[in-house]
Amino acid sequence: MEVSKIIIGYFIYIPIAFMLTIYVSKTLFKNSLVYMNDIFSGREEISTATNTLFKTGFYLLNIGFALLILKIKLHNDSYQLLIEELSFKIGKFSIYLGCMLFLNLFFFFRGKRKAKSTSKKITDKNVTI
């Protein structure tokens, strides 16, 4: 009995999508802890907790999206179409992951800017009083 090429596609796509998600997440959240420490003025416990919450949300969104676009449609049972469909799906997912990465970076930089402006306002008030 021959295994359907669609099933083979699933066995290729799912691990690649999950590994891409894990790689991007580890890279992003290992380096974002520096920004979190700066945002929360060195309070490591809050920084780590917030970073972990961001990471959990990142995993849920990205793995959820990867599974949402899982369906593979092949009009005929050829390996060429399977490879083309997989490259389209993995490319689409990679672009989505890149957008999520930059969105998270935007939030980190925004949080850092907000923390600096709040810190400056507090310093200015202390000087005037």
Query: For every one of its 129 residues, what pLDDT tens digit does the chain have, with 9 covering 90 and above?
Result: 456 889 999 999 999 999 999 999 999 888 888 888 888 888 899 989 988 998 999 999 999 999 999 998 888 878 999 999 999 999 999 999 999 989 988 888 887 787 777 766 665 565 555
What pLDDT, on a 0 to 100 scale, did the predictor assign at position 35? Answer: 81
User: What is the total count of domains within the chain?
Assistant: 1
C-beta of residue 104 within 8 angstroms of C-beta of residue 24 = no
Looking at residue 34, its pLDDT comes to: 84
Domain of residue 122, residue span: 5-128
**Closest among 71, 74, 93 to 84, alpha carbons compared:** 74
Phi, psi of 108 (to 5 degrees): -65, -45
User: Which pTM was predicted?
Assistant: 0.78
Q: Residue 121: enclosing H or E segment and its boundaries? A: helix 79-128
Position 66 scores a pLDDT of: 95
What residue type is 13 in one-letter code? Y
Distance between CA atoms of 93 and 72, rounded to whole angstroms?
A: 14
For residue 92, what pLDDT is reported?
95
